[in-house]
Structure 1
Amino acid sequence: MTEASVAMLRRLLLDRYDDLKRGLTRRLGSSEMAGDVLHDTWLRLARTDTTIGTLHNPVSYLLRMLFNVAHDRRRAEKRRLTKVDIEHLLEVADETPGPAEVAEARSDLDAMVTILAELPPRRRTILLAARVDNMARQEIADRLGVSLRLVSKELQLAHEYCLARQRQMRETDCAPDRRNSSLNRDLSPRRGDRDHDLAE
């Protein structure tokens, strides 16, 4: 999967998270399973060994991916392992995410959705364009019809707000420590961005 395709699918999942969860809940008959499917799909999108070409219809691809994950979960729940199956599985290295990794990813995604929803629309658009779509600042400025300085200012404000909210969540025990989490890496300013801000 190209980086652009992954970014597009992650952006789509974030933007339509609530609608996707409602649709999956109706289809699966369980809000909890719908949430698990969304989080499993987020984990799959985070894996670097997933490979596809350019996406022509990202919405259809994401929905198909969600349904495949749901099918895999249902099949796994129905399957009963024999003693021989268990012994065979124990001989193979398990590369699936462990409970701690799944819990951290779920918490990261929930926190990211919450924090992004709290940002003003333009600031959120600029942050997602820079961090999820990997767009250059000048490209963002051109697309939105604003100045490069305004884009830089909005990014800085978005970063400061996201970091402050993360600290607040940790301090109030509303979310686990994310000092080493993917949320911190996704939303924190990159070194090049900080240098660019200082230069301006």
Structure 2
Amino acid sequence: MSDQALAGIRRLFVERYEDLKERLTRYLGSADLAGDAMHDTWLRLAQTESIGVVQSQQSYLFRAALNAAADRRRNDARHLSVAEIDSLLDVADEAPTPEQIVLARSELEAFKAMLAQLPARRRTIFLAARLHNIPRQVIADRLGVSRRLVAKELLLAHKAFVERLKEMKG
């Protein structure tokens, strides 16, 4: 009896395909999802070997199509959309370009040259304060000078760098 019921449901699916798809489209609000659900329903019916007692074949088909649509929605929710994949692939390369590398090396060499032109004490104070982040009082104590002199040497070093940068850009 179940083979006859299954054959009847398959026949009804083919005969009433357009009506079922239209009803499913209205219910789901998407013709694409309804079409996919109808396809999945047919595949399920083709793979099914037997079914139990069915009260209403039309209700059975509609419920099977709704279940297929729900399964498709769950499956689609697990996967990234094409737009999401594209946005993930559109990641800016943060590595410097060859031009940026050359420019940075050039600027570093210019900085080293400017640093070499500073008087020894000024260079020592500048490197201690800016590179090693040593407090001014500690620098003054190490060099045996006043804190005010350390501040003055830092100011002069900064002015020298600013002037040299203006010359390079101008």
Q: What's the TM-score bracket when you normalise by the shorter of the two chains?
A: 0.3 to 0.5
Instruction: Tell me which protein shows more helix as a share of its residues.
Output: 2
Larger relative contact order (Cα-Cα within 8 Å, sequence gap ≥ 6)? 1
Higher Cα radius of gyration: 2
